[in-house]
Structure 1
Amino acid sequence: MLTVNIHEAKTQLSKLIEMAVKGEPFVIAKAGKPMVKVTAIEPPEPAAKRRIGSLKGKIKVPEDFDTMGQEEIEHMFYGDE
């Protein structure tokens, strides 16, 4: 496994990252002592795509949907008149 000092890691960071992404991890050392190991991470799972209309035919909207609970709502706003 490749070991580089901090100064070299700073100057060659892009190249070193590309190596790690390709499966070649490396170690960054300070004064010859290994400090960190850099490896690639697994890419996150792509989010499930939302499909518009996927519930069509599975949900029934009542005919009085736009007036459902109208009396109750009016009572909450206006009280007994």
Structure 2
Amino acid sequence: MNPTVDVHEAKTKFSRLLEQAHAGQEIILAKAGKPYARLMPLAPPLSRRQPGRLEGRVGDEFFEPLPDDELDAWKRCCW
């Protein structure tokens, strides 16, 4: 269960609460005894794009022009 901390207490222990959140713990901040906000760790950064990681998965047919009927369907739908 996530600990609930009153706003007044959070002000005095903010650095410690930040360290706990950074370590992965979610902390609920309460105002007048009611949950008000959530202090939680940031999501890990997305991995960097890596050129060539789909090599061998996409064949030459992927780059061929679309048939006219399919192009017409796209034009009707989206333009």
TM range (shorter): 0.5 to 0.7
Matched positions, count: 48
Q: Establish whether residue 3 from structure 1 lines up as the match of residue 4 from structure 2.
A: yes
Identity over the aligned pairs, expressed in percent? 42
Query: How many angstroms does 1:44 deviate by?
Result: 3.1
Which residue is equivalent to 2:29?
28
Distance 2:14 2:22 in 1: 12
User: 5+ residue gaps in structure 1?
Assistant: 49-81
Unaligned stretches of 5+ residues in structure 2: 50-79
Counterpart of 2:54 in structure 1 is none
**TM-score normalized with structure 2 length:** 0.53
| Cα-Cα RMSD | 1.6
User: Which aligned runs of 4 or more in structure 1 are off by greater than 6 angstroms?
Assistant: none
- Give 1 or 2: higher helix fraction: 2
Q: Give the TM-score of the pair, scaled to structure 1.
A: 0.52
1:39 aligns with 2:40: yes
Match of 1:15 in 2: 16
